[in-house]
Chains A and B, each alone.
Chain A
């Protein structure tokens, strides 16, 4: 006699729509997910063990490679931790450059996150548009830091080099200068890219049908599961470490925190990311104005020759592109960190998959993965 049985389906590790090397095991009843589990570890590169054998400045480039789509924010986290351990004062101009770069990086990372989610849901055009704009950003980053994706730009105490001449531009720069000056890019983003995303995808009825009501997450669960960033704010929790635990100089900037509704679904998470780009662009403008007006040093005048923080420990949290990035650094007074623990938001978010996906269709799984915007480099470290 024929019987209906649950089907165990293996997605990945090389399934093109699962963002890198993620393996998902899914049990299906018909087309409905009844059980799901994520299998990670394919990209494990021993970041924490490696950093115990390297000096502090040598660890900085490794942090780029954890979340490779948001390299500057990771560097910022480790640099802040080391500076606090050493009691170093970072020059003001370096702080502004760090914030400027972090926010540009956030825009860049969200563009890819949105583009990849749209592509997984079938809107390939959106992904190509995201790539077109990211290419312009990469040209800017390349001129500022020398690298296109992994920058190694921040230093313990400051940044490697000042902004090159002419990269800032003027507030009147238009579209044609988008890959030449930062003002040009920001104006292009505000006047062209963001409205385009709104009409092309966010306001698209098919896209809304695919994402609204899919995998809702209550605010209480979002906190209990340790989520942060767009996933937490998509569930309506007003929490942003830039506001609630201001690090660096974020308390000097004016920006708002976009929030989803109480039961945040995939669409809310998407919407929060799209709105965050607008807020980042606001911060970039304020930072640009300050940098243009105020010259200054980018490294402390009295920099110790050897970077050897005194005995102690720190747990430094920052708001990365995907959520709360934190590192727990223990120093024993030597040139190498005694221990580095990297708390990555994607690793924490991926735990949600077994919790929020049962009851939805297999095709919704793609939307769920896209909406939590994971980077496997950061999951496995």
Chain B
């Protein structure tokens, strides 16, 4: 219940933010790119202390950044997930402020998002690739129009004679 109260307070503080409940559980908090850092720091201050994950979604014409946070205090049950979403990012060269200084646990997750979607995080302490090789030139694999340009390997299956 108090999650809803927190989000109502957030809505009063930032009137442009759209808050909606997800049918399968949790809340969506849709923010504009300019307010993203402010909203996340506000949530950090009111006790959303656990960084679960950060990722992006490719909607074919735009990218959407999704940050999953929740409250972690002892004895708290049913701590719903709060998904802060920044929609409408360009599919090439998207730049958003990094929230690793607020949540050190998102460091690698932000690096992975850069690796897979090409979203650049400004102010990240160590903006490098993580899963792909450092010299990877083949594009961003989790974009929907990604084509694997590497040469095909021969099939190692023996054909029946």
Binding site for B on A (CB under 8 A): 40-41, 44, 46, 48-49, 84-85, 223-227, 237-239, 243-246, 312-315, 317, 324, 326, 328, 330, 338-339, 341, 343, 347-348, 350-351, 355, 380
Contacts and interface: CB of A to CB of B under 8 A. Distances in A.
Chain B contact residues: helix, strand, loop or mixed: loop
Contacts of B108: 347-348, 350-351
Contact of A328 (B66, B74, B75, B131): B66
19 contacts: A41-B132, A46-B141, A48-B142, A49-B141, A49-B146, A224-B104, A224-B105, A226-B50, A237-B72, A244-B79, A315-B81, A330-B57, A339-B57, A339-B58, A343-B52, A343-B68, A347-B112, A351-B107, A355-B104
A38 B49 CA distance: 25
Given A328-B66, A343-B53, A314 B74 contact: no
Interface stretch (B5-13, B19-27, B90-98, B150-158): B19-27
A36 B58 CA distance: 34
Contacts of B83: 315
Contact of B72 (A223, A315, A341, A351): A223
A225 B79 CA distance: 18
Contacts of B25: 84, 314-315
A347 B109 CA distance: 8
A246 B50 CA distance: 18
Contacts of A237: 72, 74
A237 B50 CA distance: 12
B22 A313 contact: yes
Contacts of B77: 243-246
A245 B73 CA distance: 12
Nearest to B58: A339
Given A237-B72, A315-B68, A40 B142 contact: no
Nearest to B74: A238
A224 B55 CA distance: 18
Given A314-B25, A315-B81, A328 B105 contact: no
Contacts of B107: 351
Contacts of A328: 53, 55, 66, 68
A347 B52 CA distance: 12
Interface in B94-150: 103-109, 112, 116, 130-133, 141-142, 146
Ranked 9 nearest A-B pairs via Cβ: A226-B105, A314-B24, A41-B131, A343-B53, A225-B105, A238-B74, A341-B55, A226-B51, A44-B131
Contacts of B103: 224, 226
Contacts of B50: 223, 226
Interface centre among B75, B104, B105, B116 (most CB of A within 10 A): B105
Interface string B18-44: 000011111000000000000000000
Contacts of A48: 116, 142
